[in-house]
Structure 1
């Protein structure tokens, strides 16, 4: 018998529609029922490609006895964290405060007014049933204890928010911040396998990008090489799909070899420009190949239709994690009989993972083979094509076709950024297709939704921030004034819509009411939305000559200065924005100059400024600005480059 989730659009919610648990979607109905019947709520949060979410559903929520207890004593609410990241964020903060950890599935116990008092992540069935029985008894016999716990948690979260917003700026320079970031990176660097020490290993693109850009700005060759080494190790490992391109969410080991096989749009969107930049700086064939294959993967497997990209591809197929991606020895040899390729991809009869093989290669050998063996790269591409054709006959993992505004805008922004480094016109075409979809939604009522392909509520701060950034980058790439106008419209609306009267913006629209405000200030696998807003504020402040935007950027950076000093690796996007405010280069060109030629001439010197149309001045002039300093106009590209090359 189906529950209320059968009418929902979310794939994750639909996956629970046949549970015997009487699930409600997030909304007034559930909280009104809890209030009217004086019941606690269980708020269970996850997402469609979450392996342990599936495990808990199978081991707990599908069972009649567990469901009966839940239905008797609680009102149970299922939340897709990708649809309602605001709900996920505030309850994750609470659970981390209660337990010291977090993750998904996130299971939170809350009062009818929405305040949490206890929670955790995955619970085995017997532990879950024992816990909910104890909590139900406690609420019946000692409700004041639960209410006082909830009040204590709420007060602590509110206090933390107030402390954050009250931080004062310090006078530390960008060089000192960058030096601290690089020092912290060096301490954590895994010199054997790349990335940071330990397992599991997440790519953390915002962190890698911040370290890379800081190393470039500080001319720190050793750390720049560490990032290149990390990118090579990731590209060689099982975390990278050696057959079809694209990155999995993380590797379970320290060597990048065995992934947790789910693929997320946001990881691949962010890694694309990082590899593209490294490809341009190093002129490296492997980096170029990763860019090309990852883009092809996005188009082939994540694009639903032009301009709309799915959020995720599951790790499991036919109920088995990684079955779609792994190869046993016989299946591999049937497609590719030559021994050299089984050796190259480390395919062995016993298997390298649970009796099968996750394809990977030794990164140190491939550069030499590309250099020394004529035709090796073409042969490798042909092998991958054969393997892909065979793999396509398998049962595919489920794709979550939820089109998230922020992740699609992130992809558009990343494609424009990637085009700076790798001149593939397809990047611009696809990015503009995405932005036309976003623009259609924006023009309906000057609001952004969270989801582009069905109705699921209001957009969050990251949706607005990434959209404003993507439209700005569209303008930089095309010089079409319309894109700049839309960027400005979205940005100015965002400042009003999410304003708390404090330096940092709320994560969800300030007019909406949850049990506390939430300012998203720290990078996770996705950059901080407030850091993105500070970055866009600086760019638009310069290009539109709006000093109030520049002041807003500086105000936000000042609030985060002390935290950047203490936790630079956790705040990579903030450090990149701080670096931008001191070091970013804008080059405005008169009508005598062809934009693509200017871009290419600067790129030869490993310089990648934002190229703008000159707003005032002679047609033969070039105006170069760096941070808050502008040089005297010059009349040749070579003169402009000399201003920046010391």
Structure 2
């Protein structure tokens, strides 16, 4: 019998629609029921590709005995953290304050007015039943103690991201950056890349920032470490060597065995990272990563309307990674005489290179040159045979039961992917990348715009239901700037400006330089929070600050520039204490130190010159131009012939006709 989730838009909620638990979606009906019946609320939060969410559902939420206990004493609310990150932020903070850790599934028990009193993550069935009984008894017999817990926790949530917003002026130098870079370097894994711990997440904005520093300071040691990290991620099991695309994280320190779900937000950002890294190094393996990941995006993650789906599950047939792993016997049978070379190339063994599961997951530990020497063939022959072998395995894999697809479409994640495709287009001048980005932007324009100038966050089966949050606006503004820099079509900047002004009106905190995560049009929760930490996805405030800097330069808008400066000033003390958690902010700081080149390309052959210029990795630039344009920076720069103008700090150098001459003015 279906519960209250049968009409939900979220695939995660729909997965629970036939549980015996009487789940409700977050909304007025459930919240009013809790107050009317004076019952504790269970807010249970997860997402469709979450392995341990599935485990807890199977062990507890599908069990009639457990469900009876939950239904008797609690109003049970299911939340998809990807649709409602505002709710997730609040109760994740509560659980972290209570336990010192967090994650998903996230289970938080609240008073009928939504204030939390207890919580945790995954619980085995018997532990869960004990907690349910104990909490119900506690609330019935000690309501005053429950109220006291709620007061303290709610105060902690409301104070958790308070910053000291001073008016002190500070001059930023490379010494400012080195002050937090040196302690960060002590956490590097100089053997396997990334941080010296497990699990390992890709964290694209960490490596993007460090790549920028390496380029702008010519720090060869840092450059080598960033390259090591990118090489290890791409050769490890985090990367799907058959289908393209990256998994969410590696459970070990060698990037070998991933948590197998694939998330759109990771792959959109990793497109940017590897495209920029190709411009930086010319490494052909980075180009292959980009092309294969875009193929995966087109083949498996794109809707008929041009939107990008959210995620692929880790599990199939109830087993994590089953779709992606192989026994040696399977490979030997499929590949025949080419199996020994393939097995050596991808570290396949009889016992299995994934020892715990006695199976194999493709990863590389030896260069193609070593394989070629061992088998007495050329490197070209190795790559040809590997390509053919992968096609054979792919044909077999395509017959397997596929992991579940989370087919909701989210504005922010789609926008991150537009940016990734734009950076791929800039690196490789492949029109297919720009066309895919433009089709997705058209999808957003047709389906996620609201009549009042705002946005919707979600789309599924032709329907939208949730107001956009700050990350949706910030990521889309960023994407529109990226599209402008690929096309020089100023309508994209005008749209970016309109969205920025909407954010200014509806999200700005009057008492700080920051923007709230939720709009003033949204329902009031127990706290209205900022998003400040750069996680796997950068903080929406750091993206907005970078947007304001770029738009301020492109539009010569001093108010935008001052706002970006004020936001950065308030966060610099935090960067110094935890640099890896503020790396997108640190990129803005690096621009303040090094300055930003404003490169205008005008005239009939602007596109040819733009493409040539984009082959060079220049992290601290904006680019603009065309045959005509109305931007202030383009005033007096249309002089008939094709010219390149390099400007910085309100000063332009003499126009030149060749990209090589312009690069001499930059480097």
Same-fold call, TM cutoff 0.5: yes
Separation (CA, whole Å) in 1 of partners of 2:359 and 2:371: 28
Q: Counterpart in 1 of 2:515?
A: 505
Rounded to whole Å, the distance in 2 between the matches of 1:285 and 1:589 is 28
Between the aligned partners of 2:179 and 2:444, the Cα distance in structure 1 is: 38
CA deviation after TM superposition for structure 1 residue 630, in Å: 2.7
CA contact under 8 A between 2:507 and 2:517: conserved in structure 1? yes
Gap change, CA 1:96 and 1:393, over 3 Å in 2:
same
Asked whether the equivalents of residues 2 and 18 of structure 2 are also in contact (C-alpha less than 8 Å), the reply is yes
1:390 aligned residue (383, 387, 396): 396
C-alpha deviation, 1:281, in angstroms? 2.0
SS in 2 for 1:42: strand
The residue aligned with 2:178 is 179
Q: 1:368 and 1:632, CA in 2 relative to 1: closer, same or farther beyond 3 A?
A: farther
Q: 1:559 aligns with which of 525, 548, 570?
A: 570
Q: Work out the CA distance in 1 between the residues paired with 2:620 and 2:588.
A: 16
CA shift, 1:515, in A, is 0.2
Deviates further, 572-581 or 322-331: 572-581
Q: What is the distance in 2 between the residues matched to 1:595 and 1:231?
A: 30
8 A contact 1:277–1:421 mirrored in 2: yes
Matches within 5 A, 1:423-438: 423-438=429-444
> Can you list the C-alpha shifts for 1:339-387, whole angstroms capped at 9, x where unaligned?
1111111111221221211011115446996996234333332222221
Q: Does 1:303 align with 2:315?
A: no
Offset, 1:28: 0.8
Cα deviation, 1:390-412, whole Å, max 9, x if unaligned, reads 11011100000010110001100
Contact 2:8 2:14 survives alignment (8 Å) = yes
Which position in structure 2 is the counterpart of 1:55?
A: 55
Q: 1:71 to 1:491 in 2, by over 3 A?
A: same
Q: SS in structure 2 opposite 1:6?
A: coil
Post-superposition offset of 1:172: 5.0
Aligned 1:95-174 pairs, distance under 5 A: 95-161=95-161, 163-164=162-163, 166=165, 171-174=170-173
Does structure 2 conserve the Cα–Cα contact (< 8 Å) formed by 1:175 and 1:218? no
**Structure 2 CA distance, aligned partners of 1:392 and 1:49?**
20
The residue number in structure 2 matching 1:456 is 465
* Alpha-carbon spacing, 1:314–1:499, altered in 2? closer, same or farther (3 Å): same
Query: Which residue in 1 is equivalent to 2:365?
Result: 362
Q: Supply the distance in 2 between the matched residues of 1:245 and 1:107 (Cα, whole angstroms).
A: 34
2:481 pairs with 1:472: yes
Deviations 1:269-315 (A, max 9, x none): 11112111222222112111111111111111111225211100001
Q: TM-score, normalised by structure 1?
A: 0.96
Partner SS, residue 350 of structure 1: coil
Match for residue 271 of structure 1? 270
For the residues of structure 2 that align with 1:289 and 1:13, how far apart are their CA atoms?
36
SS of residue paired to 1:587: strand
Contact 1:420 1:608 in 2 (8 A): no
- Residues 203 and 602 from structure 1, CA distance in 2 versus in 1: closer, same or farther, beyond 3 angstroms? closer
Measured after TM superposition, the shift of residue 49 of structure 1 is 0.4
Q: For 1:577 and 1:351, how far apart are their aligned partners in 2? A: 45
> Separation in 1 of the partners of 2:358 and 2:254?
19
TM-score with structure 2 setting the length: 0.93
CA distance in 2, matches of 1:169, 1:55: 51
Could you tell me which residue of structure 2 aligns to residue 603 of structure 1?
615
Q: Partners of 2:608 and 2:317 in 1: how far apart?
A: 49
Corresponding residue of 1:524: 535
Number of residue pairs aligned between Structure 1 and Structure 2: 643
Give the aligned partner of residue 290 of structure 1. 289
Go from structure 1 to structure 2 and tell me whether the alpha carbon gap of 1:433 and 1:369 turns closer, same or farther (over 3 Å shift). Answer: farther
Three-state SS of the structure 1 residue aligned to 2:496 is helix
Counterpart of 2:596 in structure 1 is 584
Whether contact under 8 Å (1:251, 1:259) holds in the other structure is yes
Shift in alpha-carbon separation, 1:532–1:616, aligned structure 2, 3 A: same
Cα distance 1:307–1:225, how it changes in 2: closer, same or farther (>3 A)? Answer: same
> Partner of 1:360: helix, strand, or coil?
coil
Q: CA RMSD in A?
A: 2.0
2:586 alignment partner in structure 1: 575
Structure 1 position 39, deviation (Å) = 0.8
Return the alpha-carbon distance in structure 2 between the equivalents of residues 336 and 142 of structure 1.
67
Residues 349 and 464 (structure 1), Cα distance of their counterparts in 2 relative to 1, 3 Å cut: same
Match of 1:623 among 645, 651, 664: 645
Cα distance change, pair 635–388 in 1 and its aligned pair in 2 (3 A) = same
| 8 Å Cα contact 1:182/1:215 also seen in 2 | no
Aligned to 1:413: 419
Q: Is the 8 A contact 2:214 2:223 kept in 1?
A: yes
In structure 2, C-alpha distance between the alignment counterparts of 1:379 and 1:174, rounded to whole Å? 52
Structure 1 contact 181–211 (Cα < 8 Å) conserved? no
CA distance in 2, matches of 1:496, 1:85: 21
Judge which range, 170-179 or 384-393, deviates more. Answer: 170-179
How far has the Cα of 1:608 moved from its partner? Answer: 7.6
- Given that 1:232 and 1:363 are in contact with CA atoms closer than 8 Å, whether structure 2 keeps it comes out as no
Q: Which runs of 5+ in 1 are unaligned?
A: none
SS in 2 for 1:5: coil
Q: Flag the 1:559–1:321 CA change in 2: closer, same or farther, 3 A.
A: same
Find the counterpart in structure 2 of residue 192 from structure 1. 191
For the residues of structure 2 that align with 1:643 and 1:384, how far apart are their CA atoms? 46
